[in-house]
Amino acid sequence: MDGNLTTDGGVNSNPLYCRHCGSQFLDVKKAQRVENETSQSHLQRLNDASSTEVSSSFWQVNDMWDFDNFGQSRPVGVSASADPNVTPETVYVVCADCEKGPVGVRWRAGEPYYVSHSLIVYEPKEGAPANGALPTGMSEDFIRQLMVQREAQGGGEAEEAPVVVVEEEAAVAPSERKEGEEQEEQPKDEEDTEAKNK
């Protein structure tokens, strides 16, 4: 792993980005550099279809809340893999935006996540949204207008929705009809309604 990617303490000095869509996974100083051959061999088997060589260098993320952009698979389950390290609690790390991956693994609940150095990038992709950026089509003015509207409606407190009562004739189920009684066909649109009213 390149020395300029870590601080003197071995933590990441650059953000980690998805290599597919450029979304930011992790901010600076959130992960410790570690060597992890178990995760390397497992992720290499999963990525055999790609030409990417998975190195044994990983970023250890101790808390899932340290991620900026994070998706994880459902627990894999032991039967899904021949790897003896896979447990019923094993999950894979994927990009929450483009859902590509896996780029990492967590073996058991409560243990750290390991994000592969080889499966992420360290520079944002051109055109990728900046971390914390508003979704496309939204502006700060739009958000401010929504906030003003919310305050005008009662200071942001949840209001009870108005109740709308619609009275209609109850339809009679075919099994409840008397013998020989036909239910009147309901008009399908305005023309049918006008024709019936004439």
Model pLDDT for residues 119-147, shown as the tens digit of each residue: 999 988 877 666 656 556 666 677 677 77
Cβ distance 26 to 115 under 8 Å? yes
Three-state DSSP class for residue 6 = strand
Helix runs in 28-139, H state only = 37-46
* ω into 102 cis (within 30 of 0): yes
Which H or E element spans position 151?
helix 140-152
pLDDT value of position 13: 92
pLDDT value of position 105: 93
Beta bridge pairs of residue 67: 26
The string of pLDDT tens digits covering residues 51-78 is 778 889 999 999 999 998 888 888 876 6
pTM for the predicted model, two decimal places: 0.63
pLDDT value of position 29: 93
Name the amino acid, one letter, at 165: V
CA distance 94 to 40: 16
Tokens of 76: 């894999």
Tokens of 194: 């006008």
pLDDT over 50 at 164, yes or no: no
The total of other beta-carbon atoms located within 10 Å of residue 195's CB is 9
